[in-house]
Amino acid sequence: MPDHVLSPIQSPLLSQLETHGIRHGFFTKGGGVSDGIYASLNVGLGSNDDANKVLENRRRVAAWFGQPLERLATVHQIHSTDVIVMDDRYDGSRPQGDAMVTATPGLILGVLAADCGPILFADAKAGIIGAAHAGWKGALGGIAENVIGAMMSLGASLENITAALGPSIGPASYEVGPEFVERFVTQDARFQRYFTPSTKAGHAMFDLPSLTTQRLLDAGIRAENLAIDTYPDQDRFFSYRRTTHAMEPDYGRQISAIAIMET
C-alpha cells in the first residue's frame, strides 16, 4: 500500500503554519499494514502486534513528512508531565516522558494515543514545535504548561505559540466515579464544570478535551479542540476504553505528529 493513502486529520489553526514550514497530522487507523485488532496503522511498539508491521507503519508516517523512519522521534510514555528536548543528536532511543519539544528541522515529534489527548504545538516564527500525550494525569498535572515552558526555553514566544488537541475520548464516552471527580475539584474547584451527572448514581461524565483546551488558553496561547471522540468511531480510531469494554486482549495506538520541514 503506497504512503500517499495516509490521510491524517489536520487542525485549521496549525494548517495556517504550513506556509511557514510547519507540517502536522493527527493520523487515524487507516493506511497501515497491521491486521486483526491492530488494523491497520498501529504504531504502538508496546502492543503485541508484529514488530515488523509496527515499524512499517511508523515508516509510512515518517515518509508522509518526507523523512526516513530514523527521524521519527517518540518517547516511552508513562502518563507523566515530563518534557524531553530533542535535537539533531536524536539516536532513535525512547526516553521516558510524555512530551517533546525541538527546534531541529526534519525531526518529527510523534505522540501515541488511544483515547488520551494528543496535543501538537508550534511557534512558526521561532521555528520551535512540541507534542504532548495528555491523558487525565497529564492534563491535571500540567503537561501542557510544561511544554509551553520548554518551548519558551528554546526561544519561543508565548504570543506566537499555537496548539491543537486532536482526537481523544469525548464527554459522552468518559464515565468516571466520585473519587475521580474529587481528585480534580480538590485541586481546583473550577474543574467541577467539566463533570456532568451520568445515568449511574454517583458517577459523572468527564469532558477531558474541554479541560485540556481551557488550560492551553489559560496559559496564554492560541488553541483549538478538534472535538473528535475516539471511543465511538471504531472505523477511524483505536480506543483503550472501547477495547476494555469489549474485553479484547490488546489494542493499537494511533500517532499524532509535527515537524519543521527542511528547506
Strand partners, 3: none
pLDDT(131) > 70: yes
Strand partners, 101: 85, 130
Percent of the chain with pLDDT over 70: 98
Q: Which helix (H) or strand (E) holds 257?
A: strand 254-260
In this predicted model, what pLDDT tens digit does every residue of 6-49 receive, in sequence order?
999 999 999 999 999 999 999 999 999 999 999 999 999 999 99
Tell me the three cell numbers of residue 100. 517533546
In this predicted model, what pLDDT tens digit does every residue of 54-91 receive, in sequence order?
999 999 999 999 999 999 999 999 999 999 999 999 99
DSSP per residue, 64-115? HTT--GGGEE--B--S---EEEE-TT--S---B-SEEEE--TTPEEEEEESS
Rounded to the nearest 10°, the torsion over CA 15, 16, 22, 27 is: -10
Domain boundaries, the chain: 3-168+230-260
In this predicted model, what pLDDT tens digit does every residue of 157-194 receive, in sequence order?
999 999 999 999 999 999 999 999 999 999 999 999 99
In this predicted model, what pLDDT tens digit does every residue of 190-247 receive, in sequence order?
999 999 999 999 999 999 999 999 999 999 999 999 999 999 999 999 999 999 999 9
Distance CA 225, CA 159 (A): 18
Q: How confident is the model at residue 128 (pLDDT cuts 50, 70, 90)?
A: very high
Q: Which fold has domain 3-168+230-260?
A: CNF1/YfiH-like putative cysteine hydrolases (3.60.140)
- In this prediction, residue 3 carries a pLDDT of 46
Q: How confident is the model at residue 263 (pLDDT cuts 50, 70, 90)?
A: confident
> What values do phi and psi take at 148, rounded to 5?
-60, -45
pLDDT(1) > 70: no
